[in-house]
Amino acid sequence: MTKMKAIQVSAPGAEMELVEVDMPEPGPGEVRIKVEACGVCHSDVFVKEGVFPGIDYPRIPGHEVAGTIDSLGAGVSHWAVGTRVGVGWHGGHCFHCDPCRAGDFVNCENGVITAISRDGGYAEYMTANVDALARLPDDLHSAEAAPLLCAGVTTFNSLRNCAARPGDLVAIQGVGGLGHLGIQYAARMGFNTVALSRGRDKENLAKSLGAHAYIDTAAQNVGEALSAMGGARIILATAPDATSMTPLLDGLGVDGQIIIVGADAAKLEVSPIQLIPGRRSIRGWPSGTAMDSEAALNFSSLAGVRPTIEEYPLARAGEAYAHMMANEARFRAVLKIA
Ligand SMILES: NC(=O)c1ccc[n+]([C@@H]2O[C@H](COP(=O)([O-])OP(=O)(O)OC[C@H]3O[C@@H](n4cnc5c(N)ncnc54)[C@H](OP(=O)(O)O)[C@@H]3O)[C@@H](O)[C@H]2O)c1
Ligand SMILES: [Zn+2]
């Protein structure tokens, strides 16, 4: 069996280790991808720490994958060796299989979650079902395409499906991997875009990405500051921290909505009195399908949205992950693999 290099987590809480494992063979309906780049997403914490149901260890993390099809499994006819593709989270978004309808998206029958239910892209090669593949535009190189397969599609897809219209006030909370793309998408979609971040470190960067205004949530009352601007139609909450979302509610305008993409198992504290006047609401948003990823990639290509990336070799994945967890990445760490 041919071997390949990969980063593996052997058990919940274990370090990320560089290992040699068998190169995977694509099964029926699957392709093998020669991975060129893989983004390091905050959701990799699910695999690293085991805080997600249904993970079998050892597991290879990585669900922001860009590469080239290297081999076709049985029955694959619409894809060719050499085609550049990306793979994201892929699972739990069909909303019509029995597990999805029961809220059990891990067992979604129409998606197998990359890096949770099967190995991901912190490796020289990975396999994926054809349903999970998005074509990469020619003008995006792999390292800049990779973050668009999760951070990109999640913010793009939640914003393109939201109720805000051009000119409306839209705030993006958290200027990290998701947030720095959310700012670019919101601005390119024509929203009056406000970046919300703790401290002033990221103010110039956020404005250079397209934010029209900036609120330092550590120094200012975010509810009052947004209300003074007329109240937000949409606040996209990307912080991995539920407590930080409660004060955002007071910054919503009439029919304002918080869209939660930041994942935290802690309870969100909200009073009915914060929701009733102004008909405010809260919703969650999971990333999207492979077609949504393709739309995010194509929009990024057309509108000039690009992630700001820091590149690491595969062997330094643990360092890249720690850097992201310490909120030091500006703004997405990407493993450059081939
Ligand atoms: N819904 C989905 O489909 C989906 C997809 C991908 C990721 N996620 C989740 O989205 C979240 C963000 O992921 P990411 O990759 O963007 O992470 P990231 O790069 O680490 O950025 C998160 C940002 O949130 C802010 N933040 C961090 N800790 C905070 C705290 N305790 N209180 C307030 N703000 C805090 C920071 O922004 P400032 O320094 O600017 O304050 C930080 O840069 C994670 O929970 C991830 O699991 C969800
Ligand atoms: Zn992700």
Question: Start-end ranges of CATH 3.90.180.10 in the chain?
Answer: 3-152+287-336
Instruction: Give the mean pLDDT of 157-180.
Output: 98
Does ligand 1 come within 6 angstroms of the Cβ of 42?
A: yes
Q: How far is CA 108 from CA 8, 12, 87, 145, 190, in A?
A: 24, 23, 17, 26, 35
Q: Cβ(241) to ligand 1 under 6 A?
A: yes
Ligand nearest to the CA of 176: 1
Angle at 87 between CA 84 and CA 93, to 5 degrees: 140
Residue 247 Cβ contacting ligand 1 at under 6 Å: no
CATH top-level class for 3-152+287-336? alpha beta
CA of 279 to the centre of ligand 1 (A): 27
**How many CA atoms within 13 Å lie on the side-chain side of 88?**
28
Average pLDDT over residues 15-44: 97
Mean pLDDT of the chain: 95
Residue nearest to atom 42 of ligand 1 (CA): 176
The verdict on the CB of residue 202 being under 6 Å from ligand 1 is: yes
At residue 174, the pLDDT reads: 98
**Residue 104 pLDDT:** 78
Within 10 angstroms of residue 20's Cβ, the number of other Cβ atoms is: 11
Distance 273 CA to ligand 2 centre (A): 33
For the segment 87-92, the average pLDDT, to the nearest whole number, is 86
CA distance 276 to 172: 23
Selection from 45, 44, 56 nearest residue 11 by Cα: 56
Question: Does the Cβ of 289 fall within 6 Å of ligand 1?
Answer: no
Q: Is the pLDDT of residue 126 over 90?
A: yes
Q: How far is the CA of 41 from the centre of ligand 1 (A)?
A: 9
pLDDT at 95 over 90: no
Q: How many helices (H) and strands (E) does the chain have?
A: 10, 15
pLDDT at residue number 7:
98
Which residues are CB-contacts of 220 (< 8 A; sequence separation ≥ 6)?
Answer: none
Cβ of 155 less than 6 Å from ligand 1: no
Q: Say how far apart CA 91 and CA 94 lie, in whole Å.
A: 8
Q: 237: Cβ below 6 Å to ligand 1?
A: no
Residues of the chain with CATH 3.40.50.720: 162-284
> What does the pLDDT look like over 136-161, one tens digit per residue?
999 999 999 999 999 999 999 999 99
Which atom of ligand 1 lies at the shortest distance from residue 41's CA? 15
Residue of 335, 329, 337 whose CA lies nearest to 317 = 335
Residue 176 pLDDT more than 80?
yes
Q: In this predicted model, what pLDDT tens digit does every residue of 192-202 receive, in sequence order? A: 999 999 999 99
Strand ranges for 109-242 from DSSP E: 125-129, 133-135, 169-173, 192-197, 213-216, 232-237
pLDDT score, position 96: 76
195 Cα nearest atom in ligand 1: 40
Q: Give the CATH superfamily of 162-284.
A: NAD(P)-binding Rossmann-like Domain (3.40.50.720)
- Contact 114 CB / ligand 1 (< 6 Å): no
Which atom of ligand 1 is least distant from the CA of 329? 19
For 195-223, what is the mean pLDDT? 98
Quick one: pLDDT at residue 101? 81
Does the pLDDT at position 61 exceed 80?
yes
Please report, rounded to a whole number, the percentage of residues in the chain having pLDDT higher than 70.
99
